[in-house]
Amino acid sequence: MLLLMIFIMLRVVFLGTGGALPTVNRNPSSILVNRDGELLLFDCGEGTQQQMMRARTGMMSLSSIFISHFHADHVLGIPGLLQTLSFHGRDTPLTIYGPVWVEQFVKLVSLLGYCRLNFEVKAVPLEAGDVVQREGYVVNAIASEHSVPSLAYALVENERPGKFDRRRAEEMGVPVGPLYSRLQKGESVEVNGRIIHPNEVIGPSRRGRKLIYTGDTRPCEAILEASKNADVLIHDGTLAQEKADWARESLHSTANEAADVAKKAGVKRLILTHISSRYTDDSSVLLEEAKEVFEKTCVADDLMEFEVLYGE
């Protein structure tokens, strides 16, 4: 039987979901995305490499680290992770992206300890609006609103081919086999002296998946706009509404505010992270307040995994 649809894995693993103060239940911020075997980290709080071991995610296929900002709870896991990779024999370059100071940060990391890395670490500074091009997807840098220079990120897949109409192909006399694959690749084929074009048997292209990671931020227009129709929005949900004044002062978001962004953006699912230590034993108040605004919400826990599925 010929497989006509190719499914590419897009899995999110929450390695650290706590706020600035880690607890026994929540590590500092770190989110791993596995896209078809390529690993990307969004922030890297202390202990990230141990969390990767606990979650059995692997780490040698890590291609990039995207830093949202340079508060310690988002970057202190990088030195240990780099040394662990080197001890395991990594010899291919690793790229660290981030806002201003990323180049200085990488230089400082290289001076820590006495471990000489066996691979190159590249630093790439980003500004809001920059696009990192990858095979099959891009990562967009988005303006966020925090107390230091910061960025949110959007992983956006390329459009994927439309649905293959097997019944139509059979009616046109296309035999099952290699010609199906050629048509799906956009090639025209000849059958019994007749040229059959891909658009005769393949529907319109469909959008790829979109995943948003805000890092630490107040709700803001740039993130709202970037999140339009996203499959998953991973948003700062540090505090409950009773601490709304503190959220504004510290430039974080309440769960209720994050849910409002999700609702206005029309996302499919909201996942709250960067949970204050106040709620480490019971985050139900955050979930309840968010669900009052946006029902398809959950609060991330350390080592939680989530598969981002294709939409119709």
> What's the CA gap between 2 and 91, in Å, rounded?
38
Tokens 């996942």 sit on residue: 271
DSSP tag of 93: -
Scanning the structure block, which residue is given the tokens 């990594």?
Answer: 90
CA distance 239 to 117: 39
Query: In the numeric block, which tokens belong to residue 258?
Result: 């994050």
Q: In this structure, are residues 105 and 70 in contact, taking their beta carbons and an 8 Å threshold?
A: yes
197 annotated ligand-binding residue: no
Decide if 76 contacts 48 (C-beta within 8 A).
no
Cα–Cα distance measured from residue 71 to residue 96, given in angstroms and rounded to the nearest whole number: 15
Residue 252 is assigned to a ligand binding site: no
Decide if 165 is catalytic.
no
Among residues 36, 43, 73, 231, the one annotated as catalytic is 73
Tell whether 235 is in a known binding site: no
CA 151, CA 15: separation in Å to the nearest integer? 20
Is the Cα torsion angle 44, 47, 50, 51 positive or negative in sign? negative
> What residues form the annotated binding site for Zn(2+)?
69, 71, 73-74, 146, 216, 274
Residues labelled as active-site residues: 73
Residue ranges at the known binding site: 69, 71, 73-74, 146, 216, 274
